[in-house]
Structures are given as C-alpha cells and as structure tokens.
Amino acid sequence: MGIILPGAAFGQTLSEAKAAFSERRYEIARQMLDFVIENDSLATSLEAFYWRARTNAAIAADIRGTFTGQDTSALFQAHRDYQSVKQMGPPPDSLQNYRDSVRLWLDTLQFTATNIAGNYYKQAYRFYQDQGGNLERDTRLLFRVALKSAQLARQLQPRDTLSHNIATYSAYLLQDYAVFYEEALALIKSMPNEALKRERYQNIIETFRDKINDLDKTLSMLDRAIEDFPNDRAFLDTRLDLRSKIGENEGKLLEDALDKVAAFPDDPLNHYNLAVIYQRLKQHEPAAQAYQICIRLDPSNYSAIYNLGGIFYNQGIEKLHQINRMTFTEYQKQGKTYEQEANVFFEKAEPYFEELQQMDADEEMILPILQQIYKRLNRTEKLQALLQAKP
C-alpha cells in the first residue's frame, strides 16, 4: 500500500507538476500527476486530470525531429483525461476556467491526432511499397497506429476529411474490410459537397466490387448510395445488374426495377426490365402493363412487342393444354369455357404478332405462331394470305 499523504502534500505535488509543465519537463510533470490522480481522494482531481491531459497532449505533439518520437499512448490518455474533466460534476468557481477551456484543447488535440496519423501512415506506406505490397509485422503496426489516431481525430472533428482518408485507406491496406466499410461511410459523410460525395461512393463501390471482390458489401454500399442519390441512373443500373449476376432473389430485383421506373418513368428500357422481372415471377398482368408502357414510349421495340404477344399467346396455349388433360366428363362440363378463354388470349396476342410480321416478314419464329392463332380464331382469309406470302 502506498503512503497516504495529507491533501496539502498532494496540492504541493500538483503545483510542482504545473511548474514542471511550464518548464516543458513533461515526463516529470506526468509522473507527478499520475501520482496525484492515483492517490488523491480530495477535490484536486479535476485540476489534476486537466493538467495531465495538457501534459500528455504536449508529449504527443512533441515530434522531436522524427515521427517515431511521437507518443501515441499519450495522445489517447490526453483524450481520456479531457473527457474525464468534461464528465465530472460542477467544479468550484476557481476551476471553472479549466472546464471551459477543454473544448479549445480538444481542438488542439484533434490537430495532433491528425498529424500523428499522417506521419505514421506515410512511413507505413513507404515500408509497404518497399516490401512489394506485402504487410510485414512492423508495417502492419504502423498502419494500425495511423488508423487509431485518425479515428480519434475524426471523432473529435467529424468534418476533417484528411483524418477520414487516413483511417479509410489504413483499414483498406490492413485488409480489415469490415472497418474499411465503416470508415468509408464516415468518409463519404464528411464530404463538403454532393459531387465529391457521389465520387467517393463510386470509388468505394468499385473497390469492393473489383479489388476486394466482396459483392455483399458492394450491394450494401450501393444501397447506401441510392438512399443519398435515389435518381442516380448509374447506381440504379449497377445494382440491378449486380443482383442479376449473383442470382439475387427476384423480389430484390423487382424492388430495384420499380425504383428505376419511379426515377426515370420516360425511359422505355426501365419499363422493359420491370416487365421481364414480372414475367419471371409469372405475374402476367403487371408484366403486360409494363410492356405496353414500354411500347408506347418506344413503338419499335421488337423484344417488348414479342414478349407482350408471347404472354397472351402462352396463356392461350396453356388453356388448350388444360383441355387436353381433361377427362371426357370434365370436358363436357368445362371444355367450351376453356376454349373461349383460350381464344380471348389468342385475340389479345394477334395484333402484336401481326405487328412483328410487318416489322420483319422473314422472321421464322413469327409465322408458325400467327398460323396457330389464325386457325384457332378461324381467320381463314388471313391464314391464306399468310401462307401465300410464305416463301
């Protein structure tokens, strides 16, 4: 157990520590202040924490000619002590100025943290390049210090883009991609304008997709980008394309397609993509509606016309298949109704395949379909004209 000194002795030690601080004998001052804080139970604690914070901040900022002289542990201790001063109960009037000045000194500490982060990052990156892009133990430690210091700096000043950049790229080079993701989001948030914000999103998305090859994180970052830029065609296209490639469920693809239609309702391609997804989901009515809008916007869209006609034609064929599977008794009860329903679908399909035949009279896929439709609907004259025109 340490020797218990009276309060006056602690007060004298604190005064001596402050004197050592003013003389820039920071290590001596820190030792004295550590002693006071660890042993004093009296009212000097706020003052002692304040001066230890000032002392550690000064030690951290003392470069001594080379970055290796910077004491990063002092940096973080200074921050903890400043926070302790802020969180303590109301100080006596004589110490109120300490509490009031903490914000100023935290700003200074933020500058120190950014400086340390930059120095360590530069040295780590030199080692990283010299090692041919390999992360040896010492290099990894330097990047880790850069990351932690930069995280403290941007915590103290969220708009400090330099510390955000250092934290983000330190995490990336450390291959700590979960931290890289979070730091990248913080970096994007710190951007001073929308153009830079969008550019950062694009860079980070490409990094996750092309360099890290983490498609889940790529999609997640795209979701964040679209939240901030809901009408951005490139982000919407990239998300839809990526989800299609990795086999995302159709529900998510449908959500993306609906977002694109809402953002760009005059683009026929967006309605076409939406119709295709509805068709995959066997939602024929909304698929037909989306194709119809696409055709209205782009009357020469061959694929949209073909697919729309195909929706109706296939429904008619399905009705005929159902008739073929009926027993004689079932056919007597329901067969005529099914035939009428099949003919309704063939009538709907007819004008679309006629349009396709006019667009490309030599298209071999269209002629058999039209023949089938004309036969089912008893279009004798049309069938004869079609057969005569057939080479």
- Please, where are the H alpha helices in the chain? 7-22, 26-39, 45-61, 72-87, 96-130, 137-156, 161-173, 177-190, 194-206, 215-228, 233-245, 250-263, 268-280, 284-297, 302-324, 328-330, 336-359, 366-376, 380-389
Q: Is residue 214 part of a domain?
A: no
Look at residue 170 and tell me if it is in a domain: no
pTM score: 0.62
pLDDT at 1: 36
Question: 287 vs 97, which has greater pLDDT?
Answer: 287
What percentage of the chain carries pLDDT values higher than 70?
89
Q: Is the pLDDT of residue 231 over 60?
A: yes
Task: Flag whether 391 is in a domain.
Answer: yes
Least confidently predicted of 56-60, 96-100, 275-279, 343-347:
96-100
Whether the Cβ atoms of residue 33 and residue 24 lie closer than 8 Å to each other: no
Amino acid 187: pLDDT: 93
Mean pLDDT calculated for residue range 356-374: 83
Percent of the chain with pLDDT over 90: 40
Instruction: Report whether pLDDT(44) > 60.
Output: no
- Per residue in 185-211, pLDDT (tens digit) is 999 999 989 999 999 999 999 999 999
The answer to whether 26 touches 55, Cβ cutoff 8 Å, is yes
Rounded (5°) CA angle 168-169-174:
105
Mapping DSSP to helix (H, G, I), strand (E, B) and coil, where does residue 141 land? Answer: helix
Question: Quick one: pLDDT band at residue 87, thresholds 50, 70, 90?
Answer: confident
- Give me the pLDDT at residue 71, please: 67
pLDDT at 241: 82
- Specify whether the CB–CB gap between 52 and 34 falls below 8 A: yes
The DSSP call for residue 326 is S
What DSSP string describes 70-91? --HHHHHHHHHHHHHHHHS-PP
Residue 334 included in any domain: yes
When pLDDT is cut at 50, 70 and 90, the band that residue 170 belongs to is: very high
3-state helix, strand, coil split of the chain in percent (to 5) is 80, 0, 20
Instruction: Encode burial over 300-319: b for 16+ CB neighbours within 10 A, e otherwise.
Output: ebeebbbbbbbbbbebbbeb
Any idea which residue has 């009279």 for tokens? Answer: 361
Find the domain containing 351 and state its range. 301-391
- Average pLDDT rounded to a whole number, residues 64-70: 47
Q: Which residues of 32-52 are buried (b: 16+ CB within 10 A; e: fewer)?
A: bbebbbeebeeebbbbbbbbb
Instruction: Determine the pLDDT at residue 167.
Output: 95
Q: Is-contact 24 62, C-beta < 8 A?
A: no
What pLDDT was estimated at residue 291? 95
Work out the mean pLDDT of the chain and round it to a whole number.
85
Mean pLDDT within 217-243: 88
268 within a domain of the structure (yes/no): no
Asked if the model's pLDDT at residue 8 lies above 50, the reply is: no
Q: Which residue has the higher pLDDT, 339 or 101?
A: 339
Please determine, for residue 2, whether its predicted confidence score (pLDDT) is greater than 50.
no
Q: Are 4 and 39 in contact (CB under 8 A)?
A: yes
Residue 310 placed within a domain? yes
In a domain, 362, yes or no: yes
User: Closest Cα partner for 50 from 36, 60, 64?
Assistant: 36
Q: What is the DSSP letter of 94?
A: G
Q: What whole-number distance in Å separates Cα of residue 99 and Cα of residue 156? A: 17
* Total domains, the chain: 1
Model confidence band, residue 357 (pLDDT cutoffs 50, 70, 90): confident
187 token code pair:
């970096």
Answer for the pair 238, 222: CB distance below 8 angstroms, yes or no: yes
Query: Is residue 3 situated within a structural domain?
Result: no
